[in-house]
Amino acid sequence: MSASQANTSENTLYAAHKKIYPREVSGRFTRLRMLSVIVLLGIYYLTPLLRWDGRQALLFDLPARKFYIFGLTLWPQDFIYLAALLILAGLSLFFFTALVGRVWCGYACPQTVWTEAYLWMERKIEGKRTSRMKLDKAPTSAAKIRTKTLKHTVWIAFSLWTGFTFVGYFTPIDQLAAKLFSASLGPWETFWILFYSFATYGNAGFMREQVCMYMCPYARFQSAMFDSDTLIVAYHPERGDPRGSRRRGTDPKSVGLGDCIDCNVCVQVCPTGIDIRDGLQYECIACSACIDACDEIMDKMSYPRGLIRYTTENAAQGRKQHILRPRVMVYATILLVLCGILLTNLFLRVPLELDVIRDRNTLYRETREGLIENVYTLKILNMDSKPHQYTLTADGIDGMKLVTDEPEIVVPAGAVQELIVRLQADEFNMESRSVAVKFYLQANQANHLNTVEEARFVGPGKP
């Protein structure tokens, strides 16, 4: 890079992108991370295949406007529960960030998880870091084209599977598979499968750490949740500096050096290409690859492990550590309270809804017996997973009668039933021209399934 180029890239806020070739590492944290990646990918690809009560266990059925979450069926009216769930997820992210820093980034973020998977495929096909770098520098050759084609084919196949699974969360995946094999996928289903595949391919294959650096909102504001007791990955400068190479088995003090042999392995393994020895940086996703890498070097040099390690600012400075500090307590309290509210509401949720619409055409009628009659259309929504028979009653005016042509009210599971009912009352008992009346709907043999809905009853008014 020439001097003038270097100058512009300094002014652009975003440095010119240099491709990063993370070096392979092994060690305890790497094993933990791989375990997490495998478990999370397994959950993602297998969940849509689970069945429950003869249907897909987890299905956000957009066409039918119902969300099935194992035993629970959520309707658009229950949107608030999903919103609450999202808020809870956000809050737990706050809580865990304050406590253990960016573990989410390093172990569980889909960006990390899929990048690891794509990197693994890349390593299997193109080889280690040095061979990958050599391959990219090499002039175009038949062998290079073959390797690259293989890599992209595998990547694209995996992306397509990912996209298919994604759409399988929103339309029943068995039907989707059937349509796929009979080549009768709808245009929008096809579009979303391709869209999500393309996003996966681009994000995990190419964008990688740039997503974390330039696009992730969490990466930008996570530092707001940090304090001196948050777990971070850090280099120990007092122990490591001054850095310098030396022969194996040398006592660092005898040559006036610290424990860091300046081998740069920690930089080479870093998926975001930073040098952790420069201190805590917002690019660091706390993946702990550099910990494992440096520990291996320390073992080779027979120095104690932990020149780069998980620590907290307070611990690193030799100050007292506090796990339960006000910030953590506050996040935990809010989290618990919200969790409690959500669970109580979910538990008390009555999967039954009643809508009452007054007949718009006639205000009221007079029956042959001289009673005032109002007509209503009732909509009964049975959100339960079983059919139910209901009893309908009404009150509000002395001696009021409820008349309907239906002998019994039965609503199948997950269905809406319309019902025309008439209320008849003596004008003499009405206190004013328009009186509030109440409809009570009660499921037979299910005490908790009941609801009340208010309506107006209109008469000619007092003379």
User: Which entry of ligand SF4, another protein, none binds 260, CB below 5 to 8 A by partner kind?
Assistant: ligand SF4
Residue 284 binds ligand SF4 (CB under 6 A): yes
How much helix, strand and coil, in percent to the nearest 5, is found in the chain? 45, 20, 35
Between the CA of residue 433 and those of 310, 368, 458, what are the distances in Å?
Answer: 75, 20, 6
Q: Tokens in use for 235?
A: 């280099």
Residue 103 binds ligand SF4 (CB under 6 A): no
Residue 319 binds another protein (CB under 8 A): no
Query: How many CA atoms are closer than 13 Å to the CA of 328, on its beta-carbon side?
Result: 16
Cα–Cα distance for residue pair 458/361, rounded to 1 Å: 13
Between residues 113 and 409, which has the closer beta carbon with respect to ligand SF4? 113
Between residues 151 and 277, which has the closer beta carbon with respect to ligand SF4? 277
- Of 265, 290, 262, 296, nearest in space to 276 by CA: 290
Determine the 3-state secondary structure of 330 from DSSP: helix
Q: Which stretch binds another protein (CB under 8 A): 12-20, 36-44, 131-139, 391-399?
A: 12-20
Q: For residue 247, which amino acid is it?
A: R
Contact pick of 185, 297, 356, 411 for ligand SF4 (by CB under 6 A): 297
Residues 52-91, mask of contacts with another protein (x by CB under 8 A): ----------xx-x----------x--x--x---------
User: Which entry of another protein, ligand SF4, none binds 428, CB below 5 to 8 A by partner kind?
Assistant: none
DSSP state letter for 442: E
Residue 288 binds ligand SF4 (CB under 6 A): yes
Residues 104-123, mask of contacts with another protein (x by CB under 8 A): --------------------
Query: How many CA atoms are closer than 13 Å to the CA of 238, on its beta-carbon side?
Result: 3
The 10 Å Cβ neighbour count of residue 200 is: 23
Cα–Cα distance for residue pair 102/223, rounded to 1 Å: 9
The position carrying tokens 């990646």 is 37
Q: Tokens in use for 400?
A: 């009021």
Between residues 180 and 410, which has the closer beta carbon with respect to another protein? 180
Torsion sign (Cα): 178, 189, 192, 45:
negative
Q: Which stretch binds another protein (CB under 8 A): 22-30, 189-197, 246-254, 388-396?
A: 189-197
Q: Which stretch binds another protein (CB under 8 A): 186-194, 234-242, 336-344, 454-462?
A: 186-194
Binding residues for another protein (CB under 8 A): 8, 11-14, 62-63, 65, 76, 79, 82, 170-171, 186-189, 191-192, 214-215, 217
Binding residues for ligand SF4 (CB under 6 A): 233, 235, 240, 260-266, 269-272, 274, 276-277, 284-290, 293-294, 297, 307-308
